[in-house]
Structure 1
Amino acid sequence: MTASLFQSKAWQSAWWDTWGHQAGFKLVRKWDGKVSGLYESNYRLKGVLPVRSLQFVGTSYRELRTPRTEYNRFCEENSGGKELVDAMESLLEERSWTEAVFKDLRTGSSEVSALVTIAATRGWAFRITSSDHGYAVNTVGCFTDYIGSLGAKSRLRLYNRRKIFESLGQVQECNLWPDSTDQFFAELNRFHLARWQKKCVTEKSLEFHKRFLSRIVHEGGRPVLSVIYCNKKVVSVLYNVWFEGVVYNIQAGFEEGFHPKLSLGSLHLGYAIEDAFSNPDTTSFDLLAGQGKREDYKARFSTVNYQFVSIMLVKSVLFRALYWMRG
């Protein structure tokens, strides 16, 4: 697997510039556009016991809520076996830490196997703190074949009910990058407030997204802040970014209750997936990890699924006992 959008210099540097300069954070390995950066943070467990935590840039186990950074990795793709174990062991040994928390590694990767080996060799506790499924659509081939492979209900939601939607008025799709970025995120927040009773993008995370989007262009990325209008009213938004042959679907929002027979979010995804199939420089539409509010819609639309696992290593006997008691 080649480096993902989340290991790009744009994503990693934007995250660090937004959240990395607070008290207790120290960068210990910089990103290079291929592998994740690493940093140390210092906090007090239960407000009492001092903890030094080693983590990937783009992630925060206890202290921050930030956009999710997936496909994290220590080393480049061709690393493996004893060479990888030695490199990771050396990196972990040279730092003084209480816990090392590595979020969203690909399950079955050589890096996960190396962490298991290192923990066993060193006598460190090894914990899986979470796991999650991710989904993608292979866009090499014909869109009509893909649509035909879906179940009847999924085909209706993603494609067949376009005729109903387009009969309701003038339908127009626009990319608001780069001239109307603030408008796009305002619309995304509007839909999320109605659906989840909270904003999707805070003032702080808006800084991050704007930094990231302006920087990813210099690495060949193409932001697509897609908005669908019906009769000149915004009814759906998709936050997509094309990078090295993959379209990453980072966020979405839509008007609920627009029409009893329509799922605007699914229809908008259908347009975006069809566009990915039509572009010869695109091989995949990545729906990323996570589920919908009422159903795992990504599983219905995907042709590829994968799994992420988050791992914690703990050195201290005291902290191993405390974490075990906490579950």
Structure 2
Amino acid sequence: SDQSVFTSWCWMYAWWRTFKEDDFELFLVACREGERLVAILPFYIAHRPFLKLLSLRTLYFLGYKGSGEAGYRAEYLDFVCSSRDAQTLRAPLMQYLLSGAGAGAGAGAGVDEIILSDVPATELHGSVLTALKKQGAAYIRETARDQTYRIGLATGYEAFLSGLGKGTRARIKGSEKRMASESTFAVNGCLREDPEVLLKPIKELHALRWNNQKSFGAYKKFLDALLRFDDERDIELGGVRLEYNGEVMAATLNVSFRGVVYNVMLGFKEVPVKRVSPGLLALSLDIQSCSVQSELACYDLLAGSGKRTDYKSKIASKGPELVSHQILLRWLPRMVYSLYDWLQKIKKGA
């Protein structure tokens, strides 16, 4: 597969080993052409509360958690196959999945709904779902749409800066200049560091900025497992730490996989120096560090936006859009959600 780290075997296996719960059922479908494995449908089944007293048997991608203790968010989720095979396999695989679920036998027996979360929104993906809607085999709802952002590394850091807007470039250059004039500032690269070393400062920064007191213990366990199961040695952890007077002001955590750096975590707090943007500065220093590594081609900021400003759109180009769909198969949830959507539409039109 030429897909992302989130559909790699080591990520999915580490995620399952770390975040599965007792009632989760692993659900994998393999597709072969002769003796060649051409696709895998990487799912699991869990129960989701519905109408207080009921529950739905729901099919989720490995890497996404719909309830309970939060997992480590994964993006670019999809069937596992090459882009060449996806053109011919996506539609029949989805049909196979739905026909089994709807009939109560075969591939998706006993499943009430399918959640396709954070899937790259391609024309092919949209056409498959449109065809399924026309067939009436399920009630399909779009539940979320997110924009990813990417930065090319091949042309170097100066090319990255020159491509920014005037105001953003001035903020970065000004922050770098003011940081350089203060002897109490320090930048530490964290390539191939232990997960705990990378997570500890981000945990503290998140607690201050987001009032987030949750434990990062599961995240450390996941990253430990990710490295342990990486038999091909495709994955590296890294990041930068921006320090002032020996205290961490900003930190990043990256997962590198086959030439792509995924910025999976960023934390920062206010710096007691005027006109220094710690989060933006940490990211720019991280990008600068990655741009000199010839094996790295792309810095992926993933989806989402900042707490106050959409900083990603200011420093990066748009990547694939991610779309999430809920596919309802049984008559009761189909009726309930179609009625809810109809009422919401009436409400908006009022």
TM-score of the pair, normalised by structure 1: 0.90
Q: Say whether residues 1:193 and 2:192 are aligned partners.
A: no
What is residue 10 of structure 1 aligned with on the other side? 10
8 Å CA contact 2:117–2:325 kept in 1: the answer is yes
Cα distance in 2, alignment partners of residues 196 and 291 from structure 1: 14
116-125 or 281-290, larger mean C-alpha shift:
116-125
Q: CA offsets per residue over residues 40-67 of structure 1, 9 Å max, x none?
A: 1123313322311011001123444222
Q: CA offsets per residue over residues 303-322 of structure 1, 9 Å max, x none?
A: 23331100111112211121
What is residue 148 of structure 1 aligned with on the other side? 162
Cα distance in 2, alignment partners of residues 270 and 36 from structure 1: 37
Q: Say whether residues 1:314 and 2:338 are aligned partners.
A: no
What is residue 312 of structure 2 aligned with on the other side? 298
Please list every run of at least 4 consecutive aligned residues from structure 1 whose deviation after the TM superposition is greater than 3 angstroms. Answer: 80-83, 176-179, 199-202, 213-219
Please report how far the alpha carbon of residue 167 of structure 1 lies from its aligned counterpart in structure 2 after TM superposition: 1.5
Q: CA offsets per residue over residues 24-80 of structure 1, 9 Å max, x none?
A: x10111799x86621111233133223110110011234442221100111421134
Aligned residues: 325
Counterpart selection for 1:43 from 48, 51, 69: 48
What is residue 273 of structure 1 aligned with on the other side? 287
- Check 1:36–1:244 CA distance in 2 against 1; reply closer, same or farther (3 A cut): farther
What is residue 90 of structure 1 aligned with on the other side? 96
Q: Say whether residues 1:65 and 2:65 are aligned partners.
A: no
Cα distance in 1, alignment partners of residues 206 and 232 from structure 2: 30
- Check 1:246–1:109 CA distance in 2 against 1; reply closer, same or farther (3 A cut): farther
- Check 1:213–1:99 CA distance in 2 against 1; reply closer, same or farther (3 A cut): same
Q: CA offsets per residue over residues 84-116 of structure 1, 9 Å max, x none?
A: 311221133221211100100111252343233
8 Å CA contact 1:159–1:270 kept in 2: the answer is no
113-122 or 245-254, larger mean C-alpha shift:
113-122
8 Å CA contact 1:216–1:222 kept in 2: the answer is no
Aligned CA RMSD, in angstroms, stands at 2.5
Q: CA offsets per residue over residues 126-179 of structure 1, 9 Å max, x none?
A: 100111111011122132122112112211233442121122125231317434
Cα distance in 1, alignment partners of residues 68 and 123 from structure 2: 27
The one-letter amino acid paired with 2:285 is: Y
What is residue 74 of structure 1 aligned with on the other side? 79
Please report how far the alpha carbon of residue 223 of structure 1 lies from its aligned counterpart in structure 2 after TM superposition: 0.8
Cα distance in 1, alignment partners of residues 312 and 173 from structure 2: 15
Q: CA offsets per residue over residues 170-226 of structure 1, 9 Å max, x none?
A: 5231317434x3243221111011110014653333322332244347432111043
277-286 or 227-236, larger mean C-alpha shift:
227-236
Cα distance in 2, alignment partners of residues 210 and 275 from structure 1: 24
What is residue 344 of structure 2 aligned with on the other side? none
What is residue 175 of structure 2 aligned with on the other side? 161
The one-letter amino acid paired with 2:90 is: L
1:95-106 to 2 correspondence within 5 Å?
95-96=108-109, 97-106=111-120
8 Å CA contact 2:48–2:67 kept in 1: the answer is no
- Check 1:109–1:202 CA distance in 2 against 1; reply closer, same or farther (3 A cut): farther
What is residue 127 of structure 1 aligned with on the other side? 141
The one-letter amino acid paired with 2:57 is: R
TM-score of the pair, normalised by structure 2: 0.84
8 Å CA contact 1:7–1:35 kept in 2: the answer is no
8 Å CA contact 2:187–2:240 kept in 1: the answer is no
8 Å CA contact 1:185–1:201 kept in 2: the answer is no
Cα distance in 2, alignment partners of residues 217 and 244 from structure 1: 14
131-140 or 230-239, larger mean C-alpha shift:
230-239
